[in-house]
Structure 1
Amino acid sequence: MTNADFEIETLMRQGLAGDRKAYSACLSKLVPRMRAMAHTDLPPALRHMAEDVVQEALLAIHLKRGSWDQTRALLPWVRIIVKRKAIDMLRSRPRASHEPIEDHENLQGQTADPLEALHLEQALERLPHRDASLLRDHAFGSEEPESIAQKFGLSPGAMRVALHRALQRLAEAARKEEEWKPRT
């Protein structure tokens, strides 16, 4: 056990005995270590979630601090909590990839071949009216996103979510169209 580990454990013991300043100092010293633990527990593409894992782990430590067996080392106990919170965070994420709507701003002004436009229009007709209208206004209209959101009675965030979901439904409709095409 290093001197730093010993100091953290001592502060935690003092915190459990009622010393709020010692408890606060203990958590302050734990955070950088917990951040490093979370960073190693998450895959590279999701390391931006490390701070969320740390916050969840800090909450768990605070709520369960009385369950720490003071005859054992503190850091392995903290390590288990951080690892479990990272696993929980990974399990709660949707498996589908996220495609930010901001990446699609360049749809305006693109010219399409007439047959592609026809296929796109046919795919849009398979969507619910609101989804199709939202996609048309965003991709082909010259309106600003804020005015589109207002037109549909949505907040800007809700509009982005609705637009993202409409794009997903459009992609699914296009995939189904491809599956039914006769192969030549």
Structure 2
Amino acid sequence: MVKSPDNSIRSIKAAISASRTFIRERIHKATMNLEALRSTVCNIVDILSVIAPNEIRSYIIEFFKHIEQFYYQSSKQRQIRKFEKLLKHSSNTKVQQTENRSNTNDMNKIIVNLSDRPLNPHEISLLKKGLNFNINRHKLTPFNVILTVEPALNILPNDIVNELRN
């Protein structure tokens, strides 16, 4: 499996294409090995027909057919596993790409800036967290809250400020 150096669409497609090419080459190589094995079996059968008696020759031929079938099945299963792994990987990358696209599009539609100034990245990230955003309580002390609330209270009338402080 070839991994892309980054998450860009072009590099992911190139990695998938390279992986498919490597798998095709491996399938071709396995097929060639299988053909070589078959030709070797045929040569051995021809030699055995001259050397061995019929009873022993039938056992030997049966043994070679069994070995040929074993190699065929093992290489076939290996190639199927590789292909399924490639399909799984390619489908996962497609799902991730569509999720990334939908999240950015949805957030641009959801976050509406009603102020006169542009939002900075920190404000946008807080808005993206939504209503489930929770301030870390270990970092939030009463001293920090009082310091940030006091300047805002100075704007209000004294009777309201005293009521809020109590």
Measured against the shorter chain, the TM-score band is under 0.3
User: What TM-score, normalized to structure 2?
Assistant: 0.27
Work out which of the two has the higher radius of gyration on C-alpha atoms and give 1 or 2. Answer: 2
User: What TM-score, normalized to structure 1?
Assistant: 0.26
